[in-house]
Structure 1
Amino acid sequence: MYIKKIVVSILLLGLIGMAAFSYYVYNAVFIPNTAFNNEEAHIYIPTNADFKEVLAELHPLLKDDISFEAVANRKKYPANIKPGHYVIKKGMNNNDIVNTIRTNNTPVKVKFNNQERIENLAGHLSRQIEIDSLAILNAMIAADFLAKNDLNKQNVLSLFIPNTYEVYWNITAKGFCDKMQKEYNRFWNDSRQQKASAIGMTAGEVISLAAIVQKETAKVDERKRVAGVYINRIKRSMLLQADPTVIYAKKLTENNFDQEIKRVLYKDLEIDSPYNTYKNIGLPPGPITMPDITSIDAVLNYENHNYFYFVANVVDFGYHKFAKTFAQHNRNRQEYVRWINNQGVNR
């Protein structure tokens, strides 16, 4: 009888132990373990991260680190860490979290526009994806990448069409450049290619002209008219005489792209640079900024008119006064010069 009681007691203790263990396992695996109030949280696991780094990323998001670590080890996650961007949903349990960060690398949205140089673009991108700016820049100007796309360091910026794109946060620099090449080819569809051919320009030349249009006017509804002025000058083999190219030439010559220039001086027109369209006929060797799609399409669909000149409108600010003759342009220009002198703008 005594032995029977002992056996029963052992069995009961075993059952209690199993129940307690099962309860612990159930809590560790299936009970929600998120500590944030938003509907979701985002974590970024760097390339070559170890489990300690993953735990550090997750720590602010978890109620219980220890139970998560136990489940992760049980599922052999530390030996299968994948870099990337992962979305943790409110109320997820440890099992869900481990499964998510093991398999659900989620793309991020990358945005860029109006970057003045390829170096600026690389820096802008490095703040949105894992790779650093130098790695991106080196991939952009790599000899094989340039040769494959018939580009050079002066015009490679034209390959990157401003927009919002989905990419993996941990994409390689080469992978990103290759994706942008595909997006560029998609943008230059048959319709745009035909319009470029109709005005005797390559896609790169259209973008270089669109960059000038972009700098000349912030008014989208005026860009087709401004583009028409430059198309008229090109058809007549006239100098483009675009002030934004002189500003770019000055910045480039002085290696100072942080300076703010509100007024082009006569001495600036003498700067010896292939970007100075007061001294060199035709388009500059590459875009002086990254033009919006609206500026690119403004060139492809330019307004057909007889204007050859324009100057800032001092009454309707942001817009310009257009002229068909140089005499008319001079009158408009004198009005602008008087106004800007009165403002005290010397540079």
Structure 2
Amino acid sequence: MSKSDRKAKRTRRRSGVLEITNALLSLLVLGLIVLGGLLIYGASRFYAPAVPQEAAFTVERGSSVMTTARRLEEQGLIPRDQLLPSEWLFWAGTRALQKEKDIKAGEYLLPAGASMAAILREITEGTPIARRVTVPEGWTSWQVAQEIGKDAHVLVGDLAGVPPEGSILPGSYDYNREDTRQSVLDQMQARMQEEVAAVWASCRADVCGPNGVLKTPEQLVTLASIVERETGVPTERRQVAAVFVNRLKKGMRLQSDPTIIYGITKGEGQLGRGLKRSEIEARTAYNTYQIDGLPAGPIANPGVESLRAVANPDDVDYLYFVAAGPVPSDGHLFAATYKEHRANVAKYREIERQQAIAAEAEAEAAKDAIEAEQASEAGEDVPAGAAAPQ
């Protein structure tokens, strides 16, 4: 081979290498351009408005990033059928921001127009929707079980049964969607145990303990439940408690109507009528007109203030009380002697009588006005002021 041929061959070889190199570089540049385009597209979609309208979204316990993304897409909260699947973009964005371990279970309110980035921020840094069940003071355990069982509370599972009376602390309890009903009840009962223990520890020696009228925390709860049912006026709880404590000290019967009622209804709904004489005279485990001491157990779930009122009642010598008016907010009249009590009862009955007279007079006036109006419409001569005002 001549020198010129060898030179031409080397030239062709270098030319081939350059062509391959140029081709590879071109592919690399093209790949970088495509990758950059995809990254720009992905970032634009990750930060673009997505949620069509305000919506609640639940992150289930133990859900992976991809599972969460798939559920967002299934619920129409992030786009479907785009160049890059939204669930992949959500997963990639989560990994890029190192948030995959920060996702918190719970229910979140996503605003309209929220982007995937905003959704991720909400479920990692936001506060889940607070759902709450409230137990009023004086509710029975049957009422509490009915409330927890409502579908509106989006709880799951069933209760093992109606919890023991007096085992629940009234108040408001937060929960997350799909928490179990039993877990909410467990919170209520744990709080009651804590409060009873604290109140018992601070109870007066003449009320609780070996030298008191209440020998156990359970008896404290029972008496507090009676106080809770006897008055709805917070300022007189300690006075009502004093009446019952004083009666126990003297060996007098408690004579509490709510205990009789509980013995009839077992806490399942309202009696809806007055007590019959036969019910007052019946000797049952809850009729404190007929039995000495406390009834068989609590008649409701008392609140903290009623527990504290029993543990530290007012230092008064009251033994009796009667309603001061026809509505619970009127409170009670208290007395230390039966003679004073009878005078208070007479006052209450006079109030009842006057109200009955006023109600009857109002009803008669309404009938007279209607009759006068009808007579006037019939063309009769009706004295001025007799017709009902228009």
TM-score normalised over the length of structure 1: 0.70
Question: Is the partner of 2:225 in helix, strand or coil?
Answer: helix
1:125 maps onto 2:152 in alignment: no
Distance in structure 2 (CA, Å) of the matches to 1:292 and 1:57? 46
Q: Please, which runs of 5 or more residues in structure 1 have no aligned partner?
A: 142-155
1:269 to 272, 276, 280: 280
Q: Is the alpha carbon distance of 1:83 and 1:130 closer, same or farther for their aligned partners in structure 2, counting shifts above 3 Å?
A: farther
Percent identical pairs in the alignment equals 24
Q: Is the alpha carbon distance of 1:44 and 1:168 closer, same or farther for their aligned partners in structure 2, counting shifts above 3 Å?
A: same
**1:52 to partner: Cα distance:** 9.9
1:234 to 245, 248, 268: 248
2:79 to 50, 53, 64: 64
- Single out whichever of 103-112 and 323-332 deviates more from structure 2: 103-112
What does residue range 56-205 of structure 1 map to in structure 2 within 5 Å?
59=75, 62=77, 64=79, 68-71=86-89, 84-88=105-109, 90=111, 93-94=115-116, 97=119, 106=128, 109-114=132-137, 116-126=139-149, 127-128=152-153, 130-132=155-157, 135-138=158-161, 141=163, 156-173=164-181, 175-190=183-198, 192-195=200-203, 198-199=206-207, 200=212, 201=214, 202-205=216-219
2:289 to 264, 278, 300: 278
1:304 maps onto 2:315 in alignment: yes
Task: Give yes or no for contact 2:170–2:302 (8 Å, CA) kept in 1.
Answer: yes
Q: Is the alpha carbon distance of 1:48 and 1:341 closer, same or farther for their aligned partners in structure 2, counting shifts above 3 Å?
A: farther
Task: Give yes or no for contact 1:119–1:137 (8 Å, CA) kept in 2.
Answer: no
Q: Is the alpha carbon distance of 1:195 and 1:314 closer, same or farther for their aligned partners in structure 2, counting shifts above 3 Å?
A: same
Root-mean-square deviation over aligned CA pairs: 4.4
Equivalent residue letter for 1:327 = K
Q: Is the alpha carbon distance of 1:52 and 1:239 closer, same or farther for their aligned partners in structure 2, counting shifts above 3 Å?
A: same
Task: Give yes or no for contact 1:228–1:299 (8 Å, CA) kept in 2.
Answer: yes
Larger Rg over CA atoms: 2
**1:230 to partner: Cα distance:** 0.6
Task: Give yes or no for contact 2:204–2:312 (8 Å, CA) kept in 1.
Answer: no
**1:228 to partner: Cα distance:** 0.5
Which residue is 2:7 aligned to?
A: none
1:214 maps onto 2:228 in alignment: yes
Which residue is 2:344 aligned to?
A: 332
Which residue is 2:11 aligned to?
A: none
**1:93 to partner: Cα distance:** 3.9
Distance in structure 2 (CA, Å) of the matches to 1:105 and 1:131? 21
Equivalent residue letter for 2:192 = Y
Q: Please, which runs of 5 or more residues in structure 2 have no aligned partner?
A: 1-18, 96-100, 360-390
Distance in structure 1 (CA, Å) of the matches to 2:49 and 2:355? 64
Distance in structure 2 (CA, Å) of the matches to 1:84 and 1:258? 40
Q: Is the alpha carbon distance of 1:315 and 1:121 closer, same or farther for their aligned partners in structure 2, counting shifts above 3 Å?
A: closer
1:29 to 46, 53, 67: 46
Which residue is 2:263 aligned to?
A: 249
Question: Is the partner of 2:165 in helix, strand or coil?
Answer: helix
Distance in structure 2 (CA, Å) of the matches to 1:119 and 1:35? 43
**1:245 to partner: Cα distance:** 1.4
Task: Give yes or no for contact 2:199–2:308 (8 Å, CA) kept in 1.
Answer: no
Distance in structure 2 (CA, Å) of the matches to 1:191 and 1:318? 28
**1:213 to partner: Cα distance:** 1.4
Distance in structure 1 (CA, Å) of the matches to 2:185 and 2:318? 39
Which residue is 1:290 aligned to?
A: 301
Distance in structure 2 (CA, Å) of the matches to 1:53 and 1:278? 65
How many matched pairs?
A: 316
Equivalent residue letter for 2:239 = R
Could you report, residue by residue, the CA deviation over 1:197-220 in whole angstroms, capped at 9, with x for unpaired residues? 541322222222122112221111
Q: Is the alpha carbon distance of 1:15 and 1:181 closer, same or farther for their aligned partners in structure 2, counting shifts above 3 Å?
A: same
Distance in structure 2 (CA, Å) of the matches to 1:110 and 1:179? 11
Task: Give yes or no for contact 2:133–2:174 (8 Å, CA) kept in 1.
Answer: yes
Q: Is the alpha carbon distance of 1:119 and 1:336 closer, same or farther for their aligned partners in structure 2, counting shifts above 3 Å?
A: same
Higher relative contact order (CA 8 A, sep 6+): 1
Task: Give yes or no for contact 1:210–1:299 (8 Å, CA) kept in 2.
Answer: yes
Question: Is the partner of 2:107 in helix, strand or coil?
Answer: strand
**1:108 to partner: Cα distance:** 5.0
**1:231 to partner: Cα distance:** 0.6
**1:239 to partner: Cα distance:** 1.2
Task: Give yes or no for contact 2:261–2:271 (8 Å, CA) kept in 1.
Answer: no
Equivalent residue letter for 1:186 = E
Distance in structure 2 (CA, Å) of the matches to 1:196 and 1:68? 66
Task: Give yes or no for contact 1:249–1:271 (8 Å, CA) kept in 2.
Answer: no
Distance in structure 1 (CA, Å) of the matches to 2:291 and 2:181? 35
Distance in structure 2 (CA, Å) of the matches to 1:259 and 1:57? 53
**1:233 to partner: Cα distance:** 0.8
Distance in structure 2 (CA, Å) of the matches to 1:137 and 1:249? 23
Q: Is the alpha carbon distance of 1:264 and 1:52 closer, same or farther for their aligned partners in structure 2, counting shifts above 3 Å?
A: same
Task: Give yes or no for contact 2:156–2:180 (8 Å, CA) kept in 1.
Answer: yes
TM-score normalised over the length of structure 2: 0.64
